[in-house]
Chain A
Amino acid sequence: MSATAAVSDKAVDALLEKLEREAEASGYRLNPDREFARELVRSLLLNQERYGYWACPCRLAAGVKAEDLDIICPCDYRDADLNEFGACFCALYVSAEVAAGERPAASIPERRPPAAARRAARADGSLATPAGRLPLPVWRCKVCGYLCAREEPPGVCPICKAKKERFERFI
């Protein structure tokens, strides 16, 4: 496709290898179909050029980072989809069974709420639980669920490598 010509094969392979290393180190797996994974990584790099971040290739990005944070790869929905369907929405990440070739990765239903519901959720930013008298706030990585108690979230999630902006105040 002409729209993908702007990204070099070298850049695609370099990122694919990096993602593979990081996935393996933290217990995740990339799609074993190498060409399939390469196409997705190419689209991530294309979206990096278009939007400035890795918007999920299989979802419509708003082009405004604050509205697309939940679909920056790895997305907030990946882990739930891995558990339920054996693959994330685009199927870049897959379960152990799919990685081992025991079942195929397939197109799955969309877990991300529609735009109107996301707008409503953003407007209602209240905490579900009271802070109480904890000595420190607790931060939750919205990608993998990692929790930590400290003044601020870490710059990068030590488990899944998601950036600081993907953390929410949990308690």
Chain B
Amino acid sequence: MIPFTHVDGKNCGRIEFYGLSTCIWCRKTRQLLDRLGVAYDYVYVDLLSGAEQEKAMAEVRRWNPNESFPTVVFAGSSCVLGFDEAKIRAAVGQ
């Protein structure tokens, strides 16, 4: 199990945020999700270790072969890489 933390908000389908605790673009992306008021689940992969980190990375790789952060997966069907305000707004219909 990947240990996600849930953030409450408007339901726009499941949103999984994979980031790093030190990454500035991850911070900006989370701030945007917070501003948009959508519900999402986030995990900081750098704070995981061993099998948990490998499991999270396998999931990131599935969506983003470049293994970069942030990787945000929308409803298990699309993803947005990096801090991209326009694409994230489009993904949550705002």
Contact = CB atoms under 8 A, between A and B. Distances in A.
A109 B45 CA distance: 19
Given A109-B66, A114-B65, A60 B45 contact: yes
Contacts of B68: 59, 109-110
A58 B65 CA distance: 16
Given A107-B83, A109-B82, A59 B69 contact: yes
Given A3-B47, A58-B24, 12 more contacts: A1-B27, A43-B23, A47-B22, A57-B20, A57-B22, A59-B68, A60-B20, A60-B67, A107-B25, A109-B66, A109-B81, A109-B82
Interface residues of A, number: 24
Interface string A65-86: 0000000000000000000000
30 contacts: A3-B21, A3-B22, A3-B47, A39-B27, A43-B22, A43-B23, A47-B22, A57-B20, A57-B22, A57-B23, A57-B24, A58-B23, A59-B68, A60-B20, A60-B45, A60-B46, A60-B67, A61-B46, A90-B24, A107-B25, A107-B83, A108-B82, A109-B66, A109-B81, A109-B82, A110-B66, A110-B68, A112-B66, A114-B61, A114-B67
A1 B46 CA distance: 15
Interface of B: 20-28, 45-47, 57, 61, 65-69, 81-84
Contacts of A94: none
B82 A90 contact: no
Contacts of A91: 24
Given A60-B46, A114-B61, A43 B69 contact: no
B34 to A, nearest CB: 13
Contacts of B26: 58
A95 to B, nearest CB: 18
A110 B67 contact: yes
A158 B69 CA distance: 32
A44 B28 CA distance: 17
B12 to A, nearest CB: 21
B85 to A, nearest CB: 9
Interface of A: 1, 3-4, 36, 39-40, 43, 46-47, 57-61, 90-91, 106-110, 112, 114-115
A107 B68 CA distance: 11
Question: Closest 10 CB pairs between A and B?
Answer: A107-B82, A110-B68, A43-B22, A57-B22, A107-B83, A58-B23, A110-B66, A107-B25, A114-B67, A3-B21
Nearest to B21: A3
